[in-house]
Structure 1
Amino acid sequence: MQISIVIPLLNEQESIPELHRWIAAVMKANSYSYEVIFIDDGSSDGSWQEIQKITALDANVKAIQFLKNYGKSQALHAGFEMAQGEVVITMDADLQDNPEEIPEMYKLIQEEGFDIISGWKKKRYDHVLTKNIPSKLFNAAARKVSGVKLHDFNCGLKAYQQVVVKNIDVYGEMHRYIPLLAKNAGFEKIDEKVVQHQARKYGSTKFGAERFAHGFLDLISIWFLSKFGKRPMHLFGAWGAVMFIIGFITAIGIGATKLYKLWYHIPDILVTQNPWFYIALTVMILGTLLFIAGFLGELILRTQKNPQRYKISKVLK
């Protein structure tokens, strides 16, 4: 199979039939063998009923229904697990991603050998203050921190080699950073393509302004995990050892000064009245705690098991 199209969705009843017809027309025009995988992330409208109608009529369409809303990352994870195509395309179900971009993205993966091609919505039809400006700031920060030079991390339209999606773990709300997850896994050939952005035709966006705050927090998290996720002792242990040594040297200095004054009968305050004594003690305790944190992190890494992050209600194949 050439292409798997993975589409996570939440309450997109009106868009689903039109999106399916659009994808089918593009696939037929290019003679691709393909599958479309809809992942219903706990919709409360008639989205699942629309999907059931489509799967009954089109053998190329598969679907997964979550028991409740688990988030886009979990939906993508489930879709990636099911995908069988040589190239995996992700897109949103709101008709703002254009299926006619798929053939060129497919060629860039198959013929040019890229691991990932990320869409870049250079011209957007979103509200300037609530989405465009925050998006530009977010993407600038993401480029700076991650080192991945993409203009639009949050674009839902992306193309992947199958080996990429089978070797990354999309969790939490990390769907924005799949290119960074892939880079950390060893996939370096990442590029972008300017894609056409459509104005929303039905309904309203499912993401509020808080997604940018969450995005920055996730960016810090994934940066930390990429640097020290497999070696927490390198961070916590190192800082703990440095702090303990500083505190210990300070305490030795206080003790030596006290002995010197005692030897020469120089009047002095009690050790417990010296503020540096408490500073040194605090630094030593903090250093010990950091070292223990690194040690516990190493133990957790060696004993952890991946929990099931979502529960599936139904699967249509």
Structure 2
Amino acid sequence: MTFDITIPVLNEEASLQQQVGKLHDFVSAHFPDTEQWQIIIADNGSTDQTETLGRALESTFTNVRFLKVPDRGVGLALKTSWSQSRAEIVGYMDLDLATGLDHFLEAYRAIVEKDYDLVYGTRLHPRSRVIGRTLKREISSRVFNWMLRNYLRVGFSDGMCGFKWLKREHYPALYEKGAQNNGWFFSTELLTVAEWLNLRIKELPVVWTDDVSSSRVEIWPLAKKYMQAMRELKGKRLRS
């Protein structure tokens, strides 16, 4: 099956070339048919040299594409990329490649060989291993996911892990039923709506290496945004 890997980026001039090169080498080694896949660099509002470097990567590699997204937001970047895609599988990972790349092969096989509709990485499974995470981030992650399970009545363990893959044929329905947020909460909406639609979901325990030094996340302001987003998503459910 063909697939697109979307990498949302914002002001990533320091690491863009190295990380995209590493990902390209990995995928090329396992999928030598370069017409089978693409890496999409989805730039959502960079003001540094990210665009210049991204377009250079597009010129260097035939299956790397640079996509300029009109505004900021990870959700907007993914929606823009996936709505234009013609691949059979779409998904994303973070530029820091925090999730071990071997897990992509597991996700691909789960969809292709076992016919799952959506595969998501989880850092909260007993078999997962998280490296370098601070206690503050660990507690906030567990509290957030506890809120999701109790407020939205969902069964998945990790709504925010930046590692998700799905059959593209399901994306229009996921969007129509509520996966519409332009920010980080889009990642959680995908899983929530997938459960509402009774899609076949595969939970994938992962090895995750936290890049604390590069994190720009402020937990309390983000938590307030998430709580508002949860209320809006639940409202969509009640109205449908």
Q: TM-score normalised by the shorter chain: which range applies?
A: 0.7 to 0.9
Is the Cα–Cα contact under 8 Å of residues 110 and 202 in structure 2 kept in the other structure? no
> How far apart in 2 are the matches of 1:58 and 1:26?
14
Of 217, 225, 239, 1:207 maps to 217
User: What is the CA-CA distance between 1:213 and the residue it aligns to?
Assistant: 2.2
Alpha-carbon offset, residue 13 of structure 1: 1.6
- 1:268-291 deviation per Cα after TM superposition (whole angstroms, max 9, x unaligned): xxxxxxxxxxxxxxxxxxxxxxxx
**Conservation of the 8 A alpha-carbon contact between 1:150 and 1:191:** no
Specify the SS of the correspondent of 1:158: strand
Secondary structure of the structure 1 residue equivalent to 2:17: helix
Task: Quote how far apart the aligned CAs of 1:123 are.
Answer: 3.1
Pairwise CA distance, 1:187: 4.3
Give the Cα separation in 2 of the matches to 1:171 and 1:116.
18
Larger deviation, residues 187-196 vs 50-59: 187-196
Q: CA deviation at 1:10?
A: 0.9
Match of 1:181 in 2: 193
**Deviation string, structure 1 residues 65-91 (Cα, Å, up to 9, x no partner):** 13442x111111101112222111211
Q: Is the 8 A contact 2:69 2:76 kept in 1?
A: no
Per-residue CA shift, 1:106-159, capped at 9, x if unaligned?
000111111111101243333211x21011011012122333322210011111
1:171 to 181, 202, 214: 181
* Residue aligning to 2:156: 150
Residues 177, 67 of structure 1: alpha-carbon distance in 2 compared, 3 angstrom cutoff: closer
Match of 2:58 in 1: 55
Confirm or deny: 8 A CA contact 1:6 1:83 kept in the other structure: no
In the aligned structure 2, how far is the partner of 1:109 from the partner of 1:196?
Answer: 20
Superposed displacement of residue 12, structure 1: 1.5
The separation in 2 between residues aligned to 1:67 and 1:172, in whole angstroms, is: 12
User: Which residue of the partner structure matches residue 122 of structure 2?
Assistant: 120
1:221–1:75 CA distance, 2 compared to 1 (3 A): same
Distance 1:148 1:109 in 2: 22
C-alpha contact 1:138 1:216 (8 A) present in aligned 2: no
Letter in 2 for 1:153: G
CA distance in 1, matches of 2:225, 2:71: 21
Structure with the largest fraction of strand: 2
Q: Which moved more, 1:105-114 or 1:164-173?
A: 164-173
Quickly say closer, same or farther: Cα 1:142–1:107, change in 2 above 3 A: same
Q: In the alignment, is the contact (CA less than 8 A) between 1:10 and 1:42 conserved in 2? A: yes
Q: How many residues align?
A: 225
1:242-289 deviations in whole A, cap 9, x for unaligned? xxxxxxxxxxxxxxxxxxxxxxxxxxxxxxxxxxxxxxxxxxxxxxxx
User: Which residue of structure 1 lines up, in the alignment, with residue 15 of structure 2?
Assistant: 15
Structure 2: how far apart are the matches of 1:95 and 1:104? 15
> What's 1:302 paired with?
none
Cα pair 1:12 1:94 within 8 Å, conserved = no
CA distance in 1, matches of 2:109, 2:227: 33
How high is the TM-score relative to the length of structure 2? Answer: 0.86
Q: Give the Cα–Cα distance (whole angstroms) in 2 for the partners of residues 98 and 7 of structure 1.
A: 15
Paired with 2:14 and 2:103, the residues of 1 have a C-alpha distance of 22
Q: 1:95 to 1:48 in 2, by over 3 A?
A: same
AA of the residue aligned to 1:35: Q
User: Which amino acid in structure 2 is aligned with residue 212 of structure 1?
Assistant: A
**What's the counterpart of residue 40 of structure 2?**
37
How far, CA to CA, are the matches of 2:182 and 2:26 in structure 1?
Answer: 33
Are residue 136 (structure 1) and residue 142 (structure 2) matched? yes
CA contact (8 A) 2:7 2:39 kept: yes
Moved segments of 4+, more than 6 Å:
none
Query: TM-score with structure 1 length normalisation?
Result: 0.66
Higher-Rg member (1/2): 1
Question: Structure 2 CA distance, aligned partners of 1:165 and 1:207?
Answer: 27
Aligned to 1:93: 95
